[in-house]
Amino acid sequence: MKFGTKVIHAGIEPDPATGAIMTPIYQTSTYAQSSPGQHKGYEYSRTLNPTRKALEDNLAALENGQFGLTFGSGLAAEAALLHLLDPGDEVISTNDLYGGSYRLFTKVFSRYGIKFQFVGMQGTAEIEAHITEKTKLIWVETPTNPMLNIIDIEAICAVAKKHNIMVCVDNTFATPYLQNPLDLGADVVMHSVTKYLGGHSDVVMGALVVKDEALAEKLYFIQNSVGAVPGPQDCFLVLRGIKTLHLRVQRASENAAKIADFLMQHPKVDKVYYPGLAHHAGHETAKKQMRGFGAMLSFNLKEDTAEAAAKVLEKVHYFTCAESLGGVESLIGHPASMTHAAIPREERLKVGLTDSIIRLSVGVEDADDLLADLDKALG
């Protein structure tokens, strides 16, 4: 199936009981058994639920994987993967990443003897310099949040394979419409389903997708044992949202490209971070591993202060000042005080995340209205 067909049909069949085209919301916690241990494949909804199963199969197909797992949030999905590690294990992570991931790594799992190292991944030399016999996982986010750096997934996976290290790629920004890390050698793909997959700012969820059955079985065990699973209503909403994923991401990406060009010419803007721009350091890598440049971009102001950024966020109308991203509506945020507040300022500045950085999640509105909105806010 081509991608536009997968979002509608992959892993989804008419309901066998009624023929319903849309996967029903199986709002049940338990299932009848004809005899102890004799059931129709379902016994308890923490372990498996038909609505969730349809979504997990659909997500696996979209990422060209074999096994999908969903969780109550993106961070719950990350935590499940980290539960594969033992005290003393080491993780090499992107140094420009979502603040919640950084907090989970440094404030929660580091307490259990797991060591995290944050490095730039614009080449493989720095990664290889940090690999030890204890390195068990390389955590990749590309495009990165919020600096929109591009990491060469294939090159990272080649290094990891030499050392028998697992690679997980956070594919939230790109979505499976634009990028498929498993095809480039990754072992695990992670999504904050809350974002583009759900697409309508009405659900919180996370997901993991893998190809390897043995790895999948370990993760299913953790999913069931820890129990951070989503409910069937949320799974239904995501299944519905995914059906228009390709249409939404395509339109939003087209809008983002126009906005990036506009910001490049604005006298109050210092730098624009968007992989679709020819001067972007990761532009050629993005062209190689992505099918488009996405709808996320960041920029900073010549007046490089949090106060100057706040004034812009206060003046927009169609862009809403809010956390999150990936909905049909355009959002604007100040990473230093919002999504990345958990990262110390000195660490933020190392990757270029200055006090005036503004992050845009471009939606599917008319591009002219969005451009006029930003022009007015920038004054």
Dump strand ranges (E) for 186-276.
Answer: 188-192, 206-210, 269-273
Instruction: Find the catalytic residue in 170, 234, 355, 373.
Output: 170
The residues, any chain, with a CB within 8 Å of residue 78's CB and separated by 6 or more, are 101, 104, 190, 206
Instruction: Find the catalytic residue in 195, 211, 248, 348.
Output: 195
**Relative orientation angle of helices 367-378 and 306-315, to the nearest 10 degrees:** 130
* Residue 167 backbone dihedrals phi, psi, to 5 degrees: -120, 130
The residues, any chain, with a CB within 8 Å of residue 45's CB and separated by 6 or more, are 26, 28, 29, 30, 52, 229, 232
* Residue 149 backbone dihedrals phi, psi, to 5 degrees: -70, 150
C-alpha dihedral (282, 284, 286, 288), degrees to nearest 10: -150
Is 42 one of the catalytic residues? no
| 184 touches 157 (CB < 8 A) | yes
Is 359 one of the catalytic residues? no
Instruction: Find the catalytic residue in 31, 46, 270, 287.
Output: 46
Is 348 one of the catalytic residues? no
Q: Which two tokens stand for residue 324?
A: 């999150």
| 184 touches 71 (CB < 8 A) | no
Q: Parallel, antiparallel, or unpaired for β 90-94 and 135-141?
A: parallel
Give the span between the Cα atoms of 2 and 220, in whole angstroms: 28
Instruction: Find the catalytic residue in 26, 98, 102, 274.
Output: 98
Q: Parallel, antiparallel, or unpaired for β 296-301 and 320-321?
A: unpaired
Is 46 one of the catalytic residues? yes
Active site residues: 46, 98, 170, 195
